[in-house]
């Protein structure tokens, strides 16, 4: 088994990070991934402060390995969540969706390792200046919220590796060991995987959503709300309406009204496949089965090692 700098920094054996995913990555998934030797992340972005504290404590009860919390910087409870993370002595935080400078100092001051998720090489340089330990560079193949620049993982990773000296973690479009090997060949020292773990036994998403992911084909995801909050989703009635409104040049306020509140929860947690937001990456077409998280980690690692050996 090979190790990279991110294994040392985050105290893990396998350079795979399970990306934080609202309504999908609760403590069951994070703990299962960490138990398998990779890094599991609890998504704070869909939890109340009390729920976050509870999830962190439950995670500790079922794994003694390192795990982390993903904290979107724009999250309305971000300050309270950050305080809870410090109080509960969570060893690792992956921040995203805003300035890396907002929480990095506070976390580092409390001995917490920090990575920030970004979507362009120049943002990665800002992350390094903000003092993070590692940077996740995400291409717009990825599920969920995306950067506005629409750079792919294939072009983002090598340019980021050239631009910073901290370790780079590749995200977006990686769902198996072939993708992981490709990312390592581009200079990444680890991968962050989201969509593949949605279709895991331990993910907390609704069974309808998991089934929709397994049934999705290569061309079934679209980037919607490009001017508001670019988000990659499975095309359904809601996404179709959003695309139509955008094409018609609808203004931001009307798009916000169309998005409304609670679409993510409706789609991914409650299984409303028509009107909910079903966030998933372009790799959905490669995901054929719901598997235990540990199986996904092991399979990805052994396939990656085989591919690298072959070449």
Give ∠ CA 6-116-219 in degrees, rounded to 5: 95
- Which of these ranges, 104-112, 165-173, 253-261, 300-308, lies near ligand FMN under the rule CB under 6 A? 165-173
CB atoms within 10 A of CB 217: 8
Bridge partners (DSSP) of residue 70 are: 43, 94
Residues 50-89 that bind ligand FMN (CB under 6 A): 70, 72
Q: Does 6 bind ligand FMN (CB under 6 A)?
A: no
Rounded distance, CA 29 to CA 50, Å?
A: 19
Q: Do β-strands 68-72 and 16-18 pair in parallel, antiparallel, or remain unpaired? A: unpaired
Nearer to ligand FMN by Cβ, of 253 and 289: the residue is 289
Rounded distance, CA 147 to CA 171, Å?
A: 12
Nearer to ligand FMN by Cβ, of 34 and 96: the residue is 96
Q: Does 283 bind ligand FMN (CB under 6 A)?
A: yes
Q: Does 183 bind ligand FMN (CB under 6 A)?
A: no
The full DSSP string for 136-179 is: EEE-TTSSEE--SS---HHHHHHHHHHH-SS-EEEESS--SHHH
Rounded distance, CA 124 to CA 283, Å?
A: 24
Query: From residue 262 to residue 281, what is the string marking binding to ligand FMN with x (rule CB under 6 A)?
Result: ------x----------xxx
Q: Does 143 bind ligand FMN (CB under 6 A)?
A: yes
* Number of residues this chain uses to bind ligand FMN (CB under 6 A): 30
Q: Does 242 bind ligand FMN (CB under 6 A)?
A: no
Q: Does 141 bind ligand FMN (CB under 6 A)?
A: yes
Measure Cα distances from 207 to 193, 232, 285 in Å: 20, 20, 18
Q: Which of 96, 104, 200, 204 binds ligand FMN (CB under 6 A)?
A: 96
Rounded distance, CA 139 to CA 170, Å?
A: 8
- Which of these ranges, 19-27, 80-88, 108-116, 242-250, lies near ligand FMN under the rule CB under 6 A? 19-27
- Which of these ranges, 20-28, 78-86, 241-249, 291-299, lies near ligand FMN under the rule CB under 6 A? 20-28
Residues contributing to the site for ligand FMN (CB under 6 A): 19-22, 24, 43, 45, 70, 72, 96, 117, 138, 141-144, 171-174, 192-195, 198, 268, 279-281, 283
């Amino acid at each position: 088994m090979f190790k990279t700098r991110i294994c040392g920094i985050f105290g893990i054996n396998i350079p795979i990070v399970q990306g934080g995913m609202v309504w999908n990555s609760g403590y069951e998934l994070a703990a299962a991934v960490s138990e398998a030797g990779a890094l599991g992340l609890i998504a704070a972005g869909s939890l109340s402060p009390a729920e976050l504290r509870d999830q962190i404590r439950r995670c500790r009860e079922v794994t003694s390995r390192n795990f982390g919390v993903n904290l979107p910087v724009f999250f309305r409870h971000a300050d309270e969540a950050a305080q809870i993370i410090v109080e509960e002595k969570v060893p690792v935080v992956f921040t995203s969706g805003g300035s890396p400078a907002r929480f990095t100092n506070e976390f580092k001051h409390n001995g917490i390792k920090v990575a920030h998720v970004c979507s362009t090489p120049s943002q990665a340089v800002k992350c390094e200046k903000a003092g993070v330990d590692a940077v996740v560079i995400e291409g717009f193949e990825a599920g969920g919220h995306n950067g506005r620049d629409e750079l792919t993982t294939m072009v983002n990773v090598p340019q980021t590796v050239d631009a910073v000296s901290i370790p780079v973690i590749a995200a977006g479009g990686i769902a198996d060991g072939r993708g992981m090997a490709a990312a390592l060949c581009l200079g990444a020292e680890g991968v962050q995987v989201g969509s593949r773990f949605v279709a895991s036994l331990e993910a907390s998403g609704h069974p309808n959503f998991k089934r929709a992911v397994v049934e999705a084909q290569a061309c079934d995801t679209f980037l919607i709300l490009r001017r508001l909050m670019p988000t990659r989703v499975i095309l359904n009635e809601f996404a179709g309406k959003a695309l139509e409104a955008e094409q018609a040049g609808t203004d931001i306020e009307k798009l916000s009204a169309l998005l409304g509140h609670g679409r993510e929860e409706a789609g991914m947690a409650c299984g409303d496949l028509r009107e909910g937001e079903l966030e998933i990456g372009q790799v959905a077409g490669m995901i054929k089965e719901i598997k235990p998280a540990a199986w996904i980690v092991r399979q990805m690692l052994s396939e990656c090692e085989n591919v690298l050996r072959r070449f």
